[in-house]
Amino acid sequence: MGVVKICGIRSREQVEDALAAGADLVGVILGPARRQVAIGDAARWAEAWPQRLVAVLRGASDVVWAEIWKVPWAGLQVYDAPIPDWLQRARAHHLLSIRPGQSEEDRAGADILHLDGPAPGSGTALPWERVARPTGPFWLGGGLRPDNVGRAVQILNPDGVDVSSGVEVDGVKNAALMRQFVAQAREAMA
């Protein structure tokens, strides 16, 4: 059975709702973005739910990077890294390493390639029928919603799926949509 990750979580209550919905992992954005959370808040949530949160890093400050290694994350989803050895450090800390990209070449040695739309978190879908399935482990994101995740999984057969805006109402995570998404994803990946 594949992994279901709900990303862009912004509060403790949203972490609870996502995990209660059946998500395997929850993503918290620690760099400049409309869904950004403070490292201190994210660290407290990761302490409460060890190995269930993924730190999503794009444009994260040096302060955030210094704190990353002190928290019991499940993994790091890294768009850019000011430290060249982040992958080796992630392995030393037994953290899943996730690299977003559009093709297998973008994996750059990470454990998981995260296929996403052209503007991550925007809800813009990938053209699933035209995407080449990567050869290694990958998760699918980009425009997924409860009503289309089954079709996307059917086309690409990913090892996991990742959703953010597809489970929001007016920019806020919705518990009912998270439950629907997880149910549809689980059914498709069974």
Give the model's pLDDT for residue 169: 97
Residues listed for the chain: 190
Q: Quick one: which of 65, 66, 79 has its CA closest to 141?
A: 79
Torsion of CA 55, 183, 173, 140, to 10 degrees: 50
* pLDDT surpasses 70 at 85: yes
Residue 164, SS3 per DSSP: coil
| Bridge partners (DSSP) listed for residue 161 | 4, 140
Span 98-152, pLDDT tens digits: 999 888 999 999 999 999 877 666 667 788 888 889 999 999 998 999 999 999 9
Would the pTM of this model clear 0.85, i.e. be above it? yes
Q: Whose structure tokens read 């620690």?
A: 30
Give the model's pLDDT for residue 63: 94
* pLDDT surpasses 90 at 62: yes
What is the pLDDT averaged over residues 162-185?
Answer: 97
Among residues of the chain, what percentage have pLDDT more than 90?
A: 84
* CATH class of the region 3-189: alpha beta
Q: ∠ at Cα 72 (141, 101), nearest 5°?
A: 25
